[in-house]
Structure 1
Amino acid sequence: MTTTQDFAEGKLVAACDGGIGTLTFHNEPRKNAITAAMWRAIPRALHFLTVEAGARVIILAGAGGQDFSAGADISEFETVRKDAETARAYELENSAAFRAIRAARVPTIAAIRGICYGGGFGIAAACDMRLADETARFAIPAARLGLAYPADAVQDILLALGNQTTRKLLYTGLPLTARELEPSGFLLQIADGVEGLEKEVFTIARAIAANAPISLAASKLAVRAVTENDNVLMSEAEVLGASTFESADYAEGRAAFAERRKPVFKGA
């Protein structure tokens, strides 16, 4: 049974079925640009999926099968980013959204078609994995708007994309194709068409959802600790990893292996 909840007046839709959560941007007339209300809602939507709906993996995508996201909705800037004070408040909301994705207890996957610009690129970079199809286009046009890209989002992009390509995107504002990004390792895979992308994304999501949640959370913390060079996260990962040995899921995993059946993990 699918559990669904709308946020930001229906522009952000969270759903979960069989442990697979989806977070979809619904602003198709503006290429799924992220409004201020959507930025604010992203942490709440992720909390709903992981805590209330029981998602073990979350797929982020744009509605309509055309574009992931054009980034922040520029049509709102005269109000929400009109001066230094409002811009700082707006960027805090951006950062909170990036942080919620980056720190989500469960793995996150960005399924990217079409435009993935600006804040949309930042959302994708904050995810654990990114898959795209041949239509995907990536850009960070902040410098062409006279803005600076949030520093925490730059960190996500630099870690995911590498030094030189990140500099090119930030300094030029010019778009790159999925194939041009392929050598950087930013994309796990470039799929063939809409159906191919959906198939590959859900194949990975189902494999993740079938695994032990505490093990996944410990692995995600460990990866973050290493990539961010964070000793506090490393300590947390070690504690969580050690707890798996006393978990019911570890007992279930051993029993399933001995009995030659698929394990049924409950996250305990």
Structure 2
Amino acid sequence: MTRVTEHLRLARAGAVATLTIDRPAKRNAMSLAMWSALPELMAEVDADETIRVLVITGGEHFSAGADIGEFAALRTEPADAERYGLAVHDGARAIATLRKPTIAAITGWCIGGGCEIALACDVRMAADDASFGITPAKLGIVYAFASTKQLVDVVGPAWAKQILYTGDIFDAATALRIGLVNELHPGAAAVRKRALGAAELIASRAQVSVRGAKTIVNRITGGQLTEDDAVRELYQESVTSADYAEGVRAFLDKRKPNF
């Protein structure tokens, strides 16, 4: 499967899909058309049961953020700015609410909307020379609530405030220290190789467990504090699943499970 929209390329190898941001002349800055294409692309990934994990990556740069060059034409009037903001929100939410695990493989600049895309992913792996920042304070824009919550969930309120108040650009070592990224690797090739390897490993695990874990973690970060019937249903689904039966058989047979 290969699906190409304006500067976005979705491809699949086995159970792993890769969404590549491909606009090198603009350091992968996200246009309105690119933001608007994300919900449909995520819907395709979600609907294809042969895809188990999604990796999002770029080229030399992950993404320099929203294409500010469009703002004069597309965000001048308040109603236009609201429509543009909704497209960004819907694009980031489509990634964040995907049922399947997502990994951001971050290289070069990961700024503004690029950081918003990375934060929408479950796991973030970065090259050790990557740069990060969220810069609405330099533009007179208030960062969206859902994306602010994701930033707070990942780095905590104190660091979220510093990042948003200052709009400063910070290095990969700082991103690792504050928990913005899970891992650092020496250069673009290494981080992409690691991200794809991790995706293949996750794809090989029991999907009833992986998706159950994603659902429960997201419920916890969404404020749920106790089990409810929906969570108990996840437990019941797992112990009656083909994955569970295969896992038990493989353990008794002393072999690797084939989920």
Question: Shorter-chain-normalised TM-score: which range?
Answer: over 0.9
Provide the C-alpha distance between the structure 2 equivalents of 1:53 and 1:163, rounded to a whole number of angstroms: 37
Written as runs of structure 1 = structure 2, the 5 A alignment for 1:1-268 is 3-7=1-5, 9=6, 11-52=7-48, 54-62=50-58, 64=59, 66-230=60-224, 235-265=229-259
TM-score (norm 2): 0.94
Structure 2: distance between partners of 1:100 and 1:191: 27
- SS for the counterpart of 2:46 is helix
Question: Unaligned 5+ residue runs, structure 2?
Answer: none
Which deviates more from structure 2 when the two are superposed, residues 220-229 or residues 179-188? 179-188
> Could you tell me which amino acid in structure 2 is paired with residue 209 of structure 1?
A
Give the 3 Å change call, closer, same or farther, for CA 37–219 of structure 1 in structure 2. same
Distance 1:79 1:235, change over 3 A: farther
Q: Summarize deviations over 1:191-228 as a string: whole Å, max 9, x none.
A: 11122212221221111000122221110010011112
Percent identity, please. 36
Residue 227 and residue 32 in structure 1: after superposition, are their counterparts in 2 closer, same or farther (change >3 A)?
same
What is the distance in 2 between the residues matched to 1:50 and 1:255? 29
Relative to 1, partners in 2 of residues 1:113 and 1:52: Cα closer, same or farther, differing over 3 Å?
same
Tell me by how many angstroms 1:53 deviates.
6.4
Count of aligned pairs between the two proteins: 259
Q: What secondary structure, in the 3-state scheme, does the structure 1 residue paired with 2:184 have?
A: strand
Structure 1 unaligned segments of length 5 or more: list them: none
* 1: CA distance, partners of 2:69 / 2:34: 14
Contact 1:117 1:140 in 2 (8 A): yes
Change (3 A) 1:189 1:203: same
For the residues of structure 2 that align with 1:117 and 1:231, how far apart are their CA atoms? 33
**Distance in 2, Cα, partners of 1:39 & 1:235:** 35
Give the whole-Å Cα distance in 1 for the aligned partners of 2:130 and 2:121: 16
Whole-Å Cα distance in 1 between the matches of residues 131 and 19 of structure 2? 20
Shift of 1:248: 1.3
Provide the C-alpha distance between the structure 1 equivalents of 2:41 and 2:81, rounded to a whole number of angstroms. 23
Q: CA RMSD in A?
A: 1.7
Q: Any conservation in 2 of the 1:219–1:237 contact (CA below 8 Å)?
A: no
Q: Secondary structure of 1:34's partner?
A: coil
